[in-house]
Amino acid sequence: METSTTVLDVRNLSAGYAGNQVLDGVSFTMARGEVVTLLGRNGAGKSTTLKCLMGFIAEKTGSIAFEGQPIARCLPEQIARLGMAYCPEERGIFSQLSVRENLLLPPVLRAGGLSLDEVYALFPNLRERSTSQGTKLSGGEQQMLAIGRILRTGAKTLLLDEPSEGLAPVIVKLIARTVLELKRRGFTILLVEQNLRFATELADRHVVMETGRVVDMLTKGDMHRDAGRVEAYLGMGHA
Ligand SMILES: Nc1ncnc2c1ncn2[C@@H]1O[C@H](COP(=O)(O)OP(=O)(O)OP(=O)(O)O)[C@@H](O)[C@H]1O
């Protein structure tokens, strides 16, 4: 149900690649300021859901309302102008450019975009590495750069695909702290995550996907009371 605080309302979204259906009637909503994770096994359709929201997949049916506007037929740049930003799993850092140049790449599309100094305040490591080339960065620094870069656009709704993937625990903690800080500042954040601990720590709600469908929805409280429920979907704890 759409309310004044609903930022995202996805209804009956189906999508695929070259005729192969991957999403099969996905529906969920997000309220302003919420952190929600998409959980599910490999291939469940989590990344495809993010790509659909950002307008990268044309082959889709169903409706997506963002900030009250229908966006299912919009191009990525139109969706970006409405205040959504996407951080892909592969992070998309330009290897030949420095940290600073990577940060300066995206246009500031809306008021409220972070300045370079504000990005550096959030990620002090990036300030130290500002002249380093993309290729010289650690995985953690690349992830910080990928997040910092989208913050410059002024987007207040962020789609983050597996931000903790392949990172050392100490860096995962730092990314978690940053997500919580962004939530504190009023950002709405949709995360794809495989790292259940990271997801549990951060999210207000969890949307569980299986073979292109939403099969369950858990609140933070549900997750604490009944961790087994979600582990069963992910095929954990049954070894
Ligand atoms: N560009 C593509 N072309 C064709 N099929 C694709 C493409 N991207 C993903 N798929 C297929 O769509 C299905 C869902 O993939 P998706 O990446 O959305 O899953 P996921 O839940 O994010 O899992 P993962 O963590 O493995 O990325 C998979 O069967 C995958 O092989």
Region 1-83+156-239: CATH code: 3.40.50.300
Q: What is the pLDDT of residue 236?
A: 65
Give the residue range(s) of CATH 3.40.50.300 domains in the chain.
Answer: 1-83+156-239
For 170-201, write each residue's pLDDT tens digit. Answer: 999 999 999 999 999 999 999 999 888 888 88
Q: SS3 for 173?
A: helix
For 80-121, write each residue's pLDDT tens digit. Answer: 999 999 999 889 898 889 999 999 988 888 888 999 999 999
- pLDDT at 48 exceeding the cut of 80: yes
21 lines ligand 1 (CB under 6 A): no
195 lines ligand 1 (CB under 6 A): no
More confident of the two residues 24 and 107? 24
Residue nearest to atom 30 of ligand 1 (CA): 43
Q: SS3 for 219?
A: strand
Q: Which H or E run contains 170?
A: helix 169-184
Neighbours of 39 (CB within 10 A): 27
Q: What is the pLDDT of residue 4?
A: 62
Rg (C-alpha) for the chain, rounded Å, is 17
40 lines ligand 1 (CB under 6 A): yes
CA distance 199 to 202: 5
